[in-house]
Amino acid sequence: MTRNPFPGVWQPGDNPGRRQFAVLAGNAGWAGVLEAGGWLPEVTVAYETWGEPDPARSNGVLVLHALTGDSHAAGPAGPGHLAPGWWDGLIGPGAPIDTDRYFVVCPNVLGGCQGTTGPASPGSDGVPYGSRFPMVTIRDQVAVEAALADQLGIGRWSAVIGGSMGGMRVLEWCVGHPKRVGRAIVLAVGASATADQIALCSLQIRALRSDPAFAGGDYYDAAARPVDGLAIARGMGQVSYRTAHEFQNRFGRSAQEEEDPLKGGRFAVESYLQHQGDKLTERFDPNAYIVLSEAMNHHDVGRGRGGVERALAGVRAPVTVAGVASDRLYPLEQQQELARLIPGARPLTVIDSESGHDGFLSEIDQVGTIVASALSE
């Protein structure tokens, strides 16, 4: 099959950059059966590492990305990587996650589009999965990460760290694999998806599927991709990631440059949201956006475990919980619940930011202090 390059998806034959790859199958700790009943007999995981494992492989730190992140948590943009690391400055020699001390691993999530098996990956027939890709959950993603840890010879992580969707997976590690987590750092997330969060994700999914180019999810060989739907979905998400106060201070009712909104032109905030959406279409796959959004909607550490309170009561690792003061997507009450229900949780730490949910990414100094303090315990 001739490879059809298109924006947003890393494919075999592209420059790998710093990526490494692990293939998980039945003989590599991966059973293939998914929580919702689907089946993926083989999974490729793209991951990046920093630092070196100690002889006992006891110094591993697992860093988990959010919805549109990838394995490139640190390092410059360059071949294979369109942008600098999403937590650049947090990982490296002498950094809060000190690679002179720790062996740091960041995998691209199951269902993603930057090297790990996802909807754009070829199925057994060589054709991209597209609409055939099965539903995956946060638990499935963590099962893949656990199989990767097995392949890397890491029986127990010194720490597992992540925010937003990455924080969902940190919680799932703590609940589902309590003996494999030495300590945990959870940022800007809750124990389960709320009705408000599900509503927002579902509207983004509907916007994407309504794009005529979506073609039921089988657009990989078509001339057009559903970029308009993806851009609208991203714009909707971007509103929830930031704050009304920031938008008012930054844009107010200003027009975009010389445009006149009374004559069909745009307000500056409209231009901003369109720009954010257009940027994402260059580095992300629409199907992956849907698959991962649905996984977030199904996030619930208490499912099948007697509820959230009972599930969190089984966490054994010391846990640092942090939230962003201005976060309207994952408000502080959700982190307060985590800090209250997890037996080993430290008092809640609040990140002071006007950036809303995105503060867990943008407030590097504050996040770095939180992480360094937790790792020093």
Indicate left, alpha or beta for 13 from its phi (over 0: left) and psi (-120 to 50: alpha). left
Is 28 a residue whose pLDDT tops 90? no
Number of domains forming the structure of the chain: 2
Output the CA torsion 48→54→58→61 (10° steps): -30
| pLDDT attached to residue 106 | 98
User: Is there a single domain that holds both residue 32 and residue 89?
Assistant: yes
Q: Are 252 and 164 in contact (CB under 8 A)?
A: no
User: Is there a single domain that holds both residue 61 and residue 91?
Assistant: yes
Q: How confident is the model at residue 4 (pLDDT cuts 50, 70, 90)?
A: very low
User: Is there a single domain that holds both residue 219 and residue 313?
Assistant: no
Give tens-digit pLDDT for 54-67: 999 999 999 999 99
| pLDDT attached to residue 1 | 32
> Looking at this protein, which amino acid is placed at residue 293?
S
Output the CA torsion 327→90→58→181 (10° steps): 0
User: Is there a single domain that holds both residue 112 and residue 158?
Assistant: yes
Is 204 a residue whose pLDDT tops 50? yes
Given 65, 81, 177, 357, which residue is catalytic?
A: 357
Query: For residue 13, is it within any domain?
Result: no
| pLDDT attached to residue 2 | 39
Give tens-digit pLDDT for 344-357: 899 999 999 999 99
User: Is there a single domain that holds both residue 353 and residue 274?
Assistant: no
| pLDDT attached to residue 80 | 94
Q: In the predicted model, what is the mean pLDDT of residues 283-290? A: 97
327 is catalytic: yes
Query: For residue 15, is it within any domain?
Result: no
User: Is there a single domain that holds both residue 145 and residue 103?
Assistant: yes
Q: In the predicted model, what is the mean pLDDT of residues 295-316? A: 98
Query: For residue 144, is it within any domain?
Result: yes
Q: Which of 264, 295, 326 is the last residue of a domain?
A: 295
Q: How confident is the model at residue 100 (pLDDT cuts 50, 70, 90)?
A: very high
Query: For residue 12, is it within any domain?
Result: no
User: Is there a single domain that holds both residue 234 and residue 345?
Assistant: no
Give the domain CATH number at 246: 1.10.1740.110
| pLDDT attached to residue 184 | 98
Helix (H) or strand (E) run with residue 278 in it:
helix 268-281
In sequence order, the 6+-apart residues with CB closer than 8 A to the CB of 325 are 332, 350, 351, 352, 353, 359
Query: For residue 6, is it within any domain?
Result: no
Output the CA torsion 33→35→40→46 (10° steps): -120
User: Is there a single domain that holds both residue 284 and residue 306?
Assistant: no
Query: For residue 238, is it within any domain?
Result: yes
Q: How confident is the model at residue 293 (pLDDT cuts 50, 70, 90)?
A: very high
Q: In the predicted model, what is the mean pLDDT of residues 201-218? A: 98
Is 358 a residue whose pLDDT tops 50? yes
Q: Are 112 and 288 in contact (CB under 8 A)?
A: yes
Query: For residue 312, is it within any domain?
Result: yes
Given 70, 98, 300, 327, which residue is catalytic?
A: 327
User: Is there a single domain that holds both residue 326 and residue 218?
Assistant: no
Range of 291's domain? 197-295
| pLDDT attached to residue 180 | 98
Q: In the predicted model, what is the mean pLDDT of residues 100-108? A: 98
| pLDDT attached to residue 5 | 55
Q: Is 154 helix (H, G, I), strand (E, B) or coil?
A: coil
Is 29 a residue whose pLDDT tops 80? no
71 is catalytic: no
Q: Which of 264, 279, 295 is the last residue of a domain?
A: 295
Pick from 27-41, 94-108, 153-167: least confident: 27-41
Give the domain CATH number at 62: 3.40.50.1820
Query: For residue 2, is it within any domain?
Result: no
User: Is there a single domain that holds both residue 240 and residue 186?
Assistant: no
For residues 118 and 4, which has the higher predicted lDDT (pLDDT)?
A: 118
Longest distance between any two alpha carbons in the chain, whole Å: 68
Residue 164 has which token pair? 């937003």
pTM for this one? Answer: 0.96
Given 121, 164, 192, 355, which residue is catalytic?
A: 164
User: Is there a single domain that holds both residue 210 and residue 68?
Assistant: no
User: Is there a single domain that holds both residue 90 and residue 109?
Assistant: yes
Helix (H) or strand (E) run with residue 20 in it:
strand 20-24
What percent of the chain clears pLDDT 90, i.e. is strictly above it?
A: 95
164 is catalytic: yes
| pLDDT attached to residue 58 | 98
Taking the C-alpha atoms of residue 322 and residue 330, their distance in angstroms, rounded to an integer, is: 11
> Looking at this protein, which amino acid is placed at residue 294?
E
Q: Is 199 helix (H, G, I), strand (E, B) or coil?
A: helix
Backbone angles phi, psi at 313, to 5 degrees: -65, -20
Q: Which of 239, 271, 295 is the last residue of a domain?
A: 295
